[in-house]
Amino acid sequence: MTMAVTARNLVRRFGEFTAVDRVSFEVPAGSVFGFLGPNGAGKTTTIRMLCGLLAPTEGEAEVIGFDLRREVDKIKENIGYMSQRFSLYADLTVRQNLEFYAGIYRIPRAKKAARIAFAVKMAGLTGAEHRLTGELSGGVKQRLALGAAIMHEPRLIFLDEPTAGVDPASRRDFWDLIAELRRQGVTVFVTTHYMDEAEHCDRLILIYSGRKIAEASPRELVTDIIAGTMLEISGPPPAEVVARVEKAPLIKQAQIFGLVSHVLIDNGADATERVRALVREAGWPEAQVRPIRASLEDAFIHLIEREDRRIAAEGGRAR
Amino acid sequence: MTMSLLAAANLRKRFGDIEAVAGIDLQVEPGEIFGLIGPDGAGKTTTLRLLVGLLDADEGEASIAGLDVHKQPDRARELLGYMPQQYSLYGDLTVEENLRFFADMHFVSRADRQERLARLFAFSRLEPYAKRPAGKLSGGMYKKLALSCCMIHTPKLLLLDEPTTGVDPLSRRELWEILYAFAAEGVAVVVSTPYMDEAERCHRVGLIHGGRFLLTDRPQAILAGFDEALFEVLTDDYDGARAALAQQQCALRSYPAGDALKVACRPGAAPETIGRTLTAAGVAYRSIEPGRPNFEDVFLSRVEVSA
Ligand SMILES: Nc1ncnc2c1ncn2[C@@H]1O[C@H](COP(=O)(O)OP(=O)(O)O)[C@@H](O)[C@H]1O
Ligand SMILES: Nc1ncnc2c1ncn2[C@@H]1O[C@H](COP(=O)(O)OP(=O)(O)O)[C@@H](O)[C@H]1O
Ligand SMILES: [Mg+2]
Ligand SMILES: [Mg+2]
């Protein structure tokens, strides 16, 4: 399998502070690769390094076959990047924005009209090329920004929180575009806070405090990495249930979930029975306990809490 | 009849041709978290602004602890905390200075102030960042500070407009934990969100669309009442499958769910029907499994029924 990105022990420090700490991974060409992590985890810093916008303090990377240290200009020419901060000019029209990007990417005159038309169509703005970009809705603006970022037909595109602040219907439309790019063989490297979007990725990595803490497919992340069973406890008041059971050695995670509570326990044949017993002993014999499917968000939180405990055990400070 | 903490009847608000809120009835009790759930433009913000008394209703009324929000706005407002979607704190004031500023605005006495700050710090876990300028906080921490500022005068009712939009999963869970802690102290909470997956975190929800409730009930009751047959199809020919199912009117609708295609059919439909339709259209599939309903399924189904 060819790799669109190979990163080996990437480090980026800002003064004393290590924003990215020995991160390694490989992104298979043609895949949609999800880069997850809470705010401040180091996602944007990593992307900016891979795009050649920020020099790594240590480590190496190859991006679409070019060396990050020696061939940075080649990388910049051959990738697309949609930054987290917005990249279109609000006071320019749709067409003016696209012409501006066509210039930046040095699109040959013969191809320019077709590429602009492509981006306009992708944003669903055919016939509205003269509208001011600032007046477009958030979802349409993001589609236009994506169109601008791929005008030069890159084989790899980095999308940094492309759907932040976009409503759910527009997010679905945006992911249809990502699926379309994938079908055309484009590699998509994307960060998101939305776990329903992460489910659409072929592969995920989770970073936290600058370190990689997990790498798997979405399915593996909820089944293997969690390595436990999620149970729903209904009947007694969830706040009281959580307070009573969260310290029990059996329980890996407990949380209120509306009118019920969710607990995560280690896998085992009698796991459900043991939680039933725990709840019974706590004084709620009538409570109902049933296994449910863990979500990607559960896995995400579980991994971060585990890392927090590990950092605390090492005497470090979490977050 | 006992009076609900928040009671609204037949609220209506029109902007020109748009009926933004088209007859909303709502009661919320102390300690209850009510979710106002719907997509952009559904009428969530307008409803909240009517409830807070920031906007005059064309029809209907709203009261908080029996005080009419229009006739006695000042007294009603003392009882509520409102967090708009775009909440502006003072970016160059620190976390603690912001809290003190809002305490002064609400005439919180010096004697009470220290204790309330300590309490809000305990909820929000923001104490280690007390000296950081608000403008330098991450999105999630900023929202927690905004929420704390709305709670500084210990209101009995909290109205939050999309507090979790755009925050990371960890901060989102923390925000919900804070809401549960307030609710446990008897605060009534109305929270709006466009994320269907947050419905189950609420005690009761109203699914809002076109300024009306499609449904209001306990989340468990809503899911239990969903009667369409759902399936998850694994296939490599995703578009082919969607097209075949739509054409044969076998599916009411289909959409991506993780790596599967989720297919909703009329109540009682059998998986064999889907298998036959796909095979007839020459679409290969790996498996067809029963799917579980979530709030997105319910919402889409109800929107069709109401259309
Ligand atoms: N130019 C910079 N100078 C100093 N610190 C920075 C700089 N850029 C990022 N950081 C810090 O590095 C960490 C990682 O930031 P970032 O990569 O933006 O995270 P994410 O995109 O995952 O939210 C944060 O603590 C951030 O404050
Ligand atoms: N001040 C206003 N003037 C005109 N139309 C408005 C105004 N406020 C809201 N609307 C319209 O009312 C409808 C409901 O809007 P809103 O309450 O903001 O929905 P939500 O908060 O659910 O996104 C939308 O169609 C919106 O465009
Ligand atoms: Mg970032
Ligand atoms: Mg709104």
In three-state form (DSSP H/G/I as H, E/B as E, the rest C), the secondary structure along A217-243 is: CHHHHHHHHCCEEEEEEECCCHHHHHH
Cα of B267 to nearest chain A Cα, Å: 23
Fold of A3-216: Rossmann fold (3.40.50)
d(CA B238, CA B254): 10
* pLDDT exceeds cutoff 60 at A319: no
pLDDT category at A16 given cuts 50, 70, 90 is very high
Same domain as B230, residue B293: yes
Q: What is the pLDDT of residue A87?
A: 75
* Residue B210 scores a pLDDT above 60: yes
Same domain, B160 and B64: yes
Question: How many domains does chain B fold into?
Answer: 3
Residue A4: the pLDDT is 97
Task: Give helix A109-122 / helix A138-149 axis angle, nearest 10°.
Answer: 150
User: What would the pLDDT profile of B82-113 be if each residue is shown by its tens digit?
Assistant: 999 888 888 889 999 999 999 988 888 888 88
> Pick from B229, B224, B207, B208: which is nearest to B290 by CA?
B229
For Cα atoms B204, B205, B206, give the angle at the middle one, nearest 5 degrees.
Answer: 140
Q: What is the CATH number of the domain that holds B249?
A: 3.30.70.980
* Cβ-Cβ contacts under 8 Å, B195 against chain A: 168
Quick check: is B120 in a domain? yes
Question: Are A165 and B165 inside 8 Å of each other by CB?
Answer: yes
Share of chain B above pLDDT 90, in %: 64
Please indicate, yes or no, whether residues B70 and B130 belong to a single structural domain of this protein.
Answer: no
Å between B52 CA and nearest CA of chain A: 24
Asked whether residue B69 falls in the same domain as residue B196, the answer is yes
Q: Is the pLDDT of residue A113 over 70?
A: yes
Task: Tell me the three state secondary structure of residue A105.
Answer: coil
Q: Are residues B94 and B212 in the same domain?
A: no
By the CB < 8 Å criterion, does B239 face chain A?
no
Tell me whether residue B217 is in a domain.
yes
SS3 A43: helix
Q: Report the pLDDT value the prediction gives residue B1, as an integer from 0 to 100.
A: 47
Q: Give mean pLDDT, residues B190-198.
A: 93
> Is B98 found in the same domain as B247?
no
Least-confidence region, from A31-35, A83-87, A118-122: A83-87
Q: Which of residues B154 and B306 earns the better pLDDT score? A: B154
The reply to whether ligand 2 has any atom less than 6 angstroms from the CB of B41 is yes
With contact defined as beta carbons under 8 Å apart, do A24 and A8 qualify? yes
- Which residue in chain A has the smallest CA separation from B138? A39
pLDDT on residue A317: 55
- The pLDDT, as a whole number, for residue B138 is 84
Confidence of residue B127 (pLDDT cuts 50, 70, 90): very high
Task: Supply the pLDDT for residue B58.
Answer: 97
> Tokens for B285?
């599939």
Instruction: Tell me what pLDDT residue A316 has.
Output: 65
Express as a percent the part of chain A with pLDDT over 70. 98
Is there a domain that residue B172 lies in? no
Nearest-atom number in ligand 1 for the CA of A210 is 14
In a domain, B1, yes or no: yes
Is the pLDDT at A318 greater than 70? The verdict is no
- Would you say B17 and B171 are in contact if contact means Cβ atoms under 8 Å apart? no
- Average predicted confidence (pLDDT) for chain A: 91
Residue from A101, A89, A83 nearest A148 by CA: A101
CB contact under 8 A, A258 and B201: yes
- The answer to whether position B171 is within a domain reads no
- Kindly list the residues from chain B whose CB atom is less than 8 angstroms away from the CB atom of residue A255: 173, 177
Residues B273 and B166: their CA atoms lie apart, in Å, by 40
Q: Could you tell me if the CB of B209 is within 6 A of ligand 2? A: no
Which residue among B170, B258, B292 places its CB closest to the CB of A38? B170
Kindly report the CATH number assigned to the domain that includes residue B70. 3.40.50.300
The residue contributing the CA closest to ligand 2 atom 11 is: B20
Look at B258 and A40 and tell me if their CB atoms are within 8 Å.
no
Residue type, A82: M
CATH fit for domain A227-293, picks 3.90.1150.10, 3.10.310.10, 3.30.70.100, 3.90.550.10: 3.30.70.100
Name every residue whose Cβ is closer than 8 Å to that of residue B53 and which is 6 or more positions away in sequence.
B62, B69, B70, B73, B76, B77
Tell if the CB–CB gap between B171 and A39 is shorter than 8 Å: yes
Q: Which of B45, B49, B68, B66 minimizes the C-alpha distance to B1?
A: B66
Contact B139 A39 (CB under 8 A): yes
What span, in angstroms and rounded, lies between the C-alpha atoms of B31 and B15?
33
CA of B142 to the centre of ligand 3 (A): 15
CA distance A291 to A230: 6
Q: Check pLDDT > 90 for residue B10.
A: yes
CB B220 to CB A259 under 8 A? yes
User: Quick check: is B126 in a domain?
Assistant: yes
Chain segment A202-218, per-residue pLDDT in tens:
999 999 999 999 999 99
Q: Which residues of B touch A195 (CB under 8 A)?
A: 169
pLDDT at A315 over 80: no
- B99 lies in the same domain as B148: yes
Q: What is the pTM of this model?
A: 0.86
- State the nearest Cα–Cα gap between B41 and chain A, in angstroms: 10
Closest CA to ligand 1's atom 9: A45
User: Is B160 found in the same domain as B68?
Assistant: yes
Asked if residue B68 and residue B192 are part of one domain, the reply reads: yes
Q: For residue B170, is it within any domain?
A: no
In a domain, B241, yes or no: yes
Residue B58 shares a structural domain with residue B33: yes
Same domain? For B141 and B207 the reply is no
Average pLDDT over residues B258-269: 87
- Which tens digits make up the pLDDT trace of A147-199? 999 999 999 999 999 988 777 778 888 998 998 899 899 999 999 999 989 99
Q: Given this model, what pLDDT does residue B55 score?
A: 93
Out of A226-230, B55-59, B106-110, B173-177, pick the least confident. Answer: A226-230
* Domain boundaries, position B147: 83-154
Domain spans of chain A? 3-216, 227-293
Ligand closest in space to the Cα of B36: 2
Q: Do B70 and B193 sit in the same domain of this protein?
A: yes
ipTM computed for the complex: 0.79
Which residues on B lie below 8 Å from A169 (Cβ)? 39-40
